Structure 1
Amino acid sequence: MKKDIEIPKVEGVYVAVVNEYNETYKTQDWNAYIINDKTVDLEMVIIVTSGYAEGKTTSVFRKKIDKLPKKSYAKIELMQEALFEINNTFKVSFFEGNKMFDKTYLFRKNTINLNALQPIPLMDVKGVLVK
């Protein structure tokens, strides 16, 4: 029965888009990261990203991280600034112990910009964070 299905709430896991300097290409890049601010490791992290707006959709990008240690972060993808004009979703699924967790993080169109930067947990940088 549907009422018997337990869907645990995701806490302590965030997605951030960070503006940072790329030493190799000497450019300012926007990169998406997943942050594990929990005191336990996350296993089998699956991230599915896509973007959409009226009449526009992006291709779907998938990334798997076997293990995301506690109090750490990992890069998901490089994001081009043209994507900020549309809504961007990051669907994150992972195992914590024997339980599966799932959450969709949404960056609404035009919310990723230099004026919206704030300190990002665990990272010594500023960016746009969705909890």
Structure 2
Amino acid sequence: MKKDIQIPEVRDVYVAVVNEYNDVYKTQDWNAYIINDKDVDLDMILIVTSGYSDDKKTSIFRKKLDKLPKKSYAKIELMQEELFAINNTFKVSFFEGNTMFDKTYLFRKNTINLKALQPIPLMQVKGVLVK
């Protein structure tokens, strides 16, 4: 029975953590984004985030987006720098047409930092990207 289950591979959907200036509070903030680099819209996107290490565990954060248009991105959450010392997971599920896709994006501890910044697709900014 298990051999009959087809799990499609997720392509061209990323999670990025970007360091950007907050005009309201006049601070440098780290924000997590979901990026749809596909040529089709994504529907009913569910994102579950959490952080963990050997001795620490964060609460679970859930976010739902009804639609993420093709070649676009949306903010998931503000991230506090204290979280970068632990592993951070983003479990993303979405529909593309009638097919459900699911992928877990993992930012390993201490990988989110200013030295790890790289160009982020579609956003014209630099950040830390997980494909």
- Residue 115 of structure 1 aligns with an amino acid whose one-letter code is K
Structure 1 residue aligned with 2:9: 9
Aligned ranges 1:92-107 → 2 under 5 Å: 92-107=92-107
Structure 2 residue aligned with 1:19: 19
Structure 2 residue aligned with 1:48: 48
- Residue 87 of structure 2 aligns with an amino acid whose one-letter code is N
Alignment partner of 2:10: what SS?
coil
Structure 1 residue aligned with 2:64: 64
Query: 2:27 and 2:125 mapped to 1: Cα distance?
Result: 16
Alignment partner of 2:82: what SS?
helix
- Residue 77 of structure 2 aligns with an amino acid whose one-letter code is E
Q: Does 1:75 align with 2:85?
A: no
Structure 2: tracts of 5 or more residues without a match: none
Q: What TM-score do you get using the length of structure 2 for normalisation? A: 1.00
Deviation at 1:103, TM superposition (A): 0.2
Query: 2:68 and 2:119 mapped to 1: Cα distance?
Result: 21
- Residue 34 of structure 2 aligns with an amino acid whose one-letter code is I
Q: Does 1:128 align with 2:117?
A: no
Deviation at 1:55, TM superposition (A): 1.0
Deviation at 1:73, TM superposition (A): 0.1
Q: Deviations over 1:16-35 (max 9, x none)?
A: 00000000000000000000
Structure 1 residue aligned with 2:110: 110
Structure 1: tracts of 5 or more residues without a match: none
**Count of aligned pairs between the two proteins:** 131
Q: Deviations over 1:69-116 (max 9, x none)?
A: 000000000000000000000000000000000000000000000000
Alignment partner of 1:84: what SS?
helix
